[in-house]
Amino acid sequence: MAATDFADRLIVGLDLPTVAEAETAVRELDGIARFYKIGYRLAFAGGLDFARDLVADGKKVFLDMKLLDIDNTVAEGVENVVRMGVTMLTLHAYPKAMRSAVDAAEGSALTLLAVTVLTSMDNRDLAEAGYSFDAHALVERRARQAREAGMGGVVCAAPEAAAVRNIVGTDMAVVTPGIRPAGTAHGDQKRVMTPADAIRAGASHLVVARPIVGARDRRAAAQKIIAEMQQA
């Protein structure tokens, strides 16, 4: 598979405080990366308009909003996201919310992603939050529910990608955040994996933020990750 193909499987997390800084990152990565994640931090600083600009410029956008609300509110939010023309949208993997989102996005090109268990959480965190499942069991349960709801993909930690891929089959996306190249700090991520190992495990897309946008040479950092993906 060519490097250009892997450029569509690497999602660069624009976890930056301002649109101006995000614009700089995109310029620096021009010709290397084509897919960008916009989450809460940037969204609340003008990032939703920036997402529209990226789409207009031919880039792909992963809108990481992790929606969860009453059915009608989720559906209405998804309808407006469809109009933005972004490629992917996340919501928490609660069955009713997923079914409402799938109905709202029917007929569009939007890929809905079910967030299973955040990569910053471990079994102790889940127990504190009141869950009786451990992280692996809860991820598997939510992956099955996402498949049954008709979602386009699942977001999970890379160590769970193989199990999720076995559940969802070959047609759904398996998107893995918490990717850390060998030798880099884990930060606040608790369930991590290298780019090559994540691809081998069955991930279709890797979300990488700090190891790229926080690097002194962003182009070199992105190229190194793409090369690791190719090795797999």
Residue 87 annotated in ligand binding: no
SS3 breakdown of the chain: % helix, strand, coil, rounded to 5?
Answer: 50, 15, 35
The catalytically annotated residue of 8, 69, 103, 134 is: 69
Residue 73 annotated in ligand binding: yes
The catalytically annotated residue of 8, 53, 59, 66 is: 66
Gap between the Cα atoms of 219 and 26, Å rounded: 10
Gap between the Cα atoms of 232 and 226, Å rounded: 10
Residue 66 annotated in ligand binding: yes
Q: Which helix (H) or strand (E) holds 153?
A: strand 153-155
Residue 38 annotated in ligand binding: no
Residue 189 annotated in ligand binding: yes
Gap between the Cα atoms of 197 and 58, Å rounded: 30
Does residue 66 have an active-site annotation?
A: yes
End-to-end CA distance of the chain: 10
Does residue 60 have an active-site annotation?
A: no
Looking at the chain, how many residues does it have? 232
Residue 125 annotated in ligand binding: no
Half-sphere exposure of 25 (CA within 13 A, CB side): 32
Residue 65 annotated in ligand binding: yes
Does residue 224 have an active-site annotation?
A: no
Residue 230 annotated in ligand binding: no
Residue 80 annotated in ligand binding: no
Binding residues for substrate: 15, 37, 64-73, 119, 180, 189, 209-210
Residues annotated catalytic, as ranges:
64, 66, 69
